[in-house]
Structure formats: C-alpha cells, structure tokens
Amino acid sequence: MKNLTSAYRGALLGLACGDALGAPVEFRRRDSFEPLTGMSSGGCWNLEAGQWTDDTSLALCLARSLVEKQGFCAKDQMQRYWRWYSEGYMSCTGDCFDIGNATHRALARFNLSDDPWAGDTNPSMSGNGALMRLAPAVLAAHGQQTLIWRWVIDSTRTTHASPDCIDAALVFANILDRVISGESLRSVLMNPEHPGLPKSTAIQRILNGEYLHLKREHLGDGFYVIEALENALWACWQGEDLESTLLLAANLGGDADTVAAIAGQLAGAAYGEEQLPKAWLKKLAWRKDITDLADALLALSQQLEAA
C-alpha cells in the first residue's frame, strides 16, 4: 500500500523543486550552460536558490482554492490567479514576475467578463501553462474517477482550452493518478494509454510511448504542451531516482523550470517526499506551506471519497 502522505507531499514539493531547479536556465538553449547539479541562483528572473516561479505559484493558488472551497470552484481559482498576477499572491518573491501568454490573455478576459472559462480554444494556443499546475486537481479528486476527469478538464480550460492542452492534461492526470494508486512508475510509463482519446491527435505520440526511445538531442524546447509532457516523461523514464530525474529535466534547458515542474509532480509522487534531496528542501522557499497544502489536499480527497 502506497504511503499517500509521502506521495502527495512528493508531488507538490517535487513540482516546486523542479521549478526552482530549472528557473536559472529557463529560456537557455540546451547545452549552452554549465549543467545544473543542484539549487542555484540567477537566471533571467534573478532568483535566489530555492525560489520558484509561476508554475508553483499557480499550483499553490489552485491547491489553496480546492482546500478552502472544499472542492472545485472555477471562479475562485481564477480570482486567485488574478490576485497572483495583480498583487503577487502566492509568489515567493511577493510579485508576479513572469506570466505565460495564454494565462495572461485568459486573466484579462476573466477580468472583463467575470467568466472563469476564459481559456482560448485555438489550437495555436497550446502552451504548457495549465499542465504545469495540474497536480492539485488530481490529488484532490484521487479515488473518484469521474471527478478526476471533470476537474482535470475544468482546471485546464480556465486558462488553456485547446484540444492539445486538454489531451495532455488527461493523459498526464491518468499517469499521475495510476502512480498514486500504487502502480510502479516504470510500468505506467511503458503503458501510458488513456482510453477515449481521439487517435489522430498530437497526443498520440505520447500514447505510443515514443518518449521511451527518443534521444535527448531530439527533444523539443518544451514550450508546446505536448513537448513539455514528452520531455518530462522522458526524464522520468531516464532518471534513476528523484534527484537524477529532476536534474535531467532541468538540464534540457528551454522551458526548463516547467518541464522539471511537470516531471517533479510525477516523480515526486512516485518516489515520495523522502527521496527529495535534503539540500534542496533546505533551500526550497515555502517548504512548510507546500507540505501543509499537500496534507490538506489528502484530507480533502479522503473526505470526498467518504461522502
């Protein structure tokens, strides 16, 4: 039986650690920088070692909303994302210093219309900005299959409603949920199938397990949602433990923080909190708040399951 406390904490702390690890090399071309070996400072946001970016801020907004609303409230989630954008809510620096295009446009639309279903359905708007914050929706709904699909789709389409964004979220949620249920990471990665998704879409290359055979130099930069997922799953497959998995992901460069944040959600849940290097956790900003939110998401999922 899987230790759920360790898996839930691992997922959220893994997300934040991946984000903080990759932040110093975000936007850098692969192999154009000294390989990362741990938490470091700098990068285009000039962060201190252990500080994280929009990925973690938005995941914490989503987690806090799920916990305080004791369930899914799209409007409350978007209000918190707006507060992050306008006031620096849930930012470890106190400011929103980076925001993706699709999230920015969705928040602007929400601010005018008050309609939380503000994600663009245009296929060209297929960034990774909803996938990077997804774990809290899966953690809260774990144990209830139909609830998971609904919350995963709905928590994605508030800001990212393109078919590729929705497909990527469903496939990643299925993988993450199976790992939390106790299936081994390797077995899930060898069979990432998700019944019910169309066979002709971009997600098919993930479902076919192409990342199991891809060479590092053939991976994309990770800004496109399908590539972000592919790169993260590649790192999870290649990594021997949690530390090496997140370093492999962050050292890909490009959208390094987000790819490592996605890998961190999954690998963190699979290996558990205990496998995160102590030196990383010591530096990680808001470690206690993140741990407490993970525990609160576990309590919420157990309440929902019992209801």
Residues 65-94 that bind Mg ion (CB under 5 A): none
Q: How many residues bind Mg ion (CB under 5 A)?
A: 4
Q: Are 235 and 261 in contact (CB under 8 A)?
A: no
Distance CA 187, CA 93 (A): 39
Residues 25-64 that bind Mg ion (CB under 5 A): 53-55
CB-wise, 55 or 230, nearer to Mg ion?
A: 55
* Eight-class DSSP state of 224: B
Kindly report the number of other CB atoms within 10 A of residue 182's CB atom: 10
Distance CA 23, CA 48 (A): 10
Distance CA 26, CA 290 (A): 22
Segment interacting with Mg ion (CB under 5 A) among 116-124, 135-143, 204-212, 251-259: 251-259
CB-wise, 55 or 177, nearer to Mg ion?
A: 55
Phi, psi dihedral angles at 224 (to 5 degrees)? -80, 135
Q: Which residue is nearest to Mg ion (CB)?
A: 53
Segment interacting with Mg ion (CB under 5 A) among 33-41, 83-91, 121-129, 254-262: 254-262
Phi, psi dihedral angles at 261 (to 5 degrees)? -70, -40
If you search the block for the tokens 């389409």, which residue do you land on?
Answer: 157
The answer to whether residue 265 forms part of the interface with Mg ion (CB under 5 A) is no
The answer to whether residue 227 forms part of the interface with Mg ion (CB under 5 A) is no
Q: How far is the CB of 2 from Mg ion (least distance, A)?
A: 29
The answer to whether residue 257 forms part of the interface with Mg ion (CB under 5 A) is yes
Q: How far is the CB of 55 from Mg ion (least distance, A)?
A: 4
Residues of the shown chain interacting with Mg ion in the complex, contacts defined by CB under 5 A: 53-55, 257
